Structure formats: C-alpha cells, structure tokens
Amino acid sequence: MNNRNDTERFNRNILELNIKRAFTSTVVLAVVLPVIFVAALVCRWDNDTLRSLFVIGTAILEAIQFIFMVVIRFQCARDEFDTYRVVYLVYYAVTITFLMLGAGCDMEAFGSELLYFSACMYLVFVPVFTETERIAFVAGQTIIMLPLVIGFRINVRGIVDVCIVQFLTILLSGYQHNVAVKRQKMGMKLKKKTDTSEHDALTGLYNRRGLESRINAIWAFCERNKIPVGVLTLDIDYFKKYNDKFGHPKGDECLRQVAKVLKASAQRSTDVVTRTGGEEFIIFVQDVDDDNLVALASKIRKNLEEQAIPQAYLGVSKYVTVSIGIASFVPGYNKDFDRLYEEADAALYQAKKNGRNCIVYKGNVYGRIKNGVTKATPV
C-alpha cells in the first residue's frame, strides 16, 4: 500500500468481502443443511445415538445460519463497520466447528470423508483470513478432528490422512488468501487510475472525461423514461483579474473553495459536478423541474457569498461571485447533451452580458442585474 489511506481502504475492503461471504454462506447453508438433515433421517445408522447427535447438530447449525443471516443483514444495513470482524470470525468459528463434528460422525458411521473434505474446502475458499487467523482456525479443526478420530478408533491411516489434509488446508487457504488480496489490490489500483483519469487533480471534481462517462451512463435511461435533464454552466466572474492581483497559488485556492461550494450545494447522488477547465464549471442534474433548477443556482450563489472570498474586481461585488446559465429539456430526437450544453452556454453568455453575478434561464435573469432588479426579468 502506498499510504495510510490506501491501507485503511484495503483493510475495509477485506472486512466487507468477508462479511459478504459470510452472509452468502448463511444463505447457501440454510438451503443445503435441510437436505443433509433429511438424508440423515432416511439413511440407516448402526448407532442410534450417533444419528441423534448428527441430526440435532444439523438442526442447531441450521438455526445458527438464520440467526447470523439476520445479524449480518442488520449490520450491513446500518454499516456497523467496527463489528464486522468480530461477527464473521464468530460465525466462521461456530460453523466450522459444527461441520467438523458432523464430519466426525459421518466418518464413524459410514466411513465417508466427504463431509470432512467439504469442511476443509469451506475453510479454504470461503473466508479470507490473515495468516494468524488461518493457522488458528486450522489448528482448531485439527484439535476437533484428532480426538474424534482417536475416540472412534479409526485406524492409524485415518489419523495420518487427517494430518495431511489439515496441512494441505493451510497451504491452500494461504494461496486463496493471496489470490483474494491480489484481486483487491488490483481492483483498488484500477479504481484509483479511473478516478485519476476522470477527476480534476486540483479540485477533485469530475473533469470532461468523467462528465462524458457519467452522461453516457445516465442519458439513455433518462431518454427511455422521459426524465428531464438540466445543465448549469458557471464561470467565476473576472477570475483572470483575481489571478493577476493575488497570484496563481491564491487562484488555485479560490478554485478549490468554489468547487467545495458547488459540491456542497449539489448534494444528490445523481448530480454531476464538473470542472471543465480554468474557471469554468458544469453541473449536470436529472429529474429536476424549473423551480428547483433556479433554486439550486440561487443556493450556489448564496453559499459562495457566505464564503466571503475577497474579489479582485469590485465592480461586481467585494466577494468572489459566479455567473450561471441554465438549460433543460427531456432527452429525445435531436435533443442530445451537446445541444443541452450549447443552450446552457448561451444562457451563461447572456448572464455575463447582463452584468455577471446572476442567473439566466429560459430568457429570464435572476439575481443581480445592471439596474438592480432582483426578481426574474426577461433578458
């Protein structure tokens, strides 16, 4: 891992992987165990006591699966990340213990090692344990199996087979752990590269490539379902003068502050906030009516004003302001994103022409205009 954040993210991914696999395990075993239960009742056992123990153990394990299914589901819903590890370790420990006890009964009654091998493969392929956890679990398996093998008076060959299988379980589970770790690291690297290529390095917002990617993913859905879409194009007013007066480092800081305001103002998960270059920004929204579009633009102006960032050109305001152009329509024939952007850009041009620090939408101006009128006024 390159840094502490990457390490923390990787560890969280492993925890989430384990808790998801544990939940999947509860579902699968909840389906499989009743089949084993019925098979145990139907099969002929020479030892009725052993049969009763196997059947009761299977029923208990079935109940355990449903209990943990509910617990894990509840945890995931509430994102109780801190307790993931404890829950899945307890779940795996209880489940593997019952599987090994059942395997011992199966070996004694029928001379079959199928359940035993299944329990070992479960330990190899389901959980993603650290080396310490892996050795502890395999040691626990061995502690359970060897007394059973000796107690049931299985021959020396059986004891040797158990020891060999347990050793192979350690090796295979270690290999599977390394494979899972490599996949997680590769996924993180790929995501990081994608994030880097689709995000603006200075502000952390989407860049043009990121915007195009999001539009391609959203547009067809909006067109198919007749969902209105909208674009807000924004320019920081007289930003060149800001750089000339305060210098480019301060200019970069100003861009970051404006980006933060935009992100805080457009908070819906479907809102796409983008820096397209220089002092230019775009916000793409969907399923928003005219009033809410204007309300969002007004919210941006208000939130930016509250930041009280000193302006270089006092002809508009003593604080940094933005001009905003808005366009919207329902996607359809001859109504693609390029047209939507062109209409929003034309509205932005009208906002600048009208004195800046204002909003233009559908031919109306909202906010500061040359004659001081603040209500919606035709351009």
Backbone φ, ψ for residue 53 (5° rounding): -60, -40
Give the angle subtended at the CA of 205 by the CAs of 201 and 207, to the nearest 5°: 75
Between the alpha carbon of residue 163 and those of residues 146, 150, 284, the distances in Å are: 8, 13, 62
How much helix, strand and coil, in percent to the nearest 5, is found in the chain? Answer: 65, 10, 20
The edge-to-edge listing of strands for the beta sheet with 364-367 is 272-277, 280-286, 229-236, 322-329, 358-361, 364-367, 377-378
Spatial distance between the Cα atoms of 305 and 88, rounded to a whole number of angstroms: 49
Element (H, E) at 100: helix 84-110
Which residue in 62, 108, 133, 279 is the catalytic one?
279
Spatial distance between the Cα atoms of 201 and 326, rounded to a whole number of angstroms: 26
Between the alpha carbon of residue 141 and those of residues 93, 107, 153, 189, 238, the distances in Å are: 10, 15, 18, 36, 71
Assess contact for 230 and 222: CB atoms under 8 A: no
279 is catalytic: yes
Catalytic residues: 279
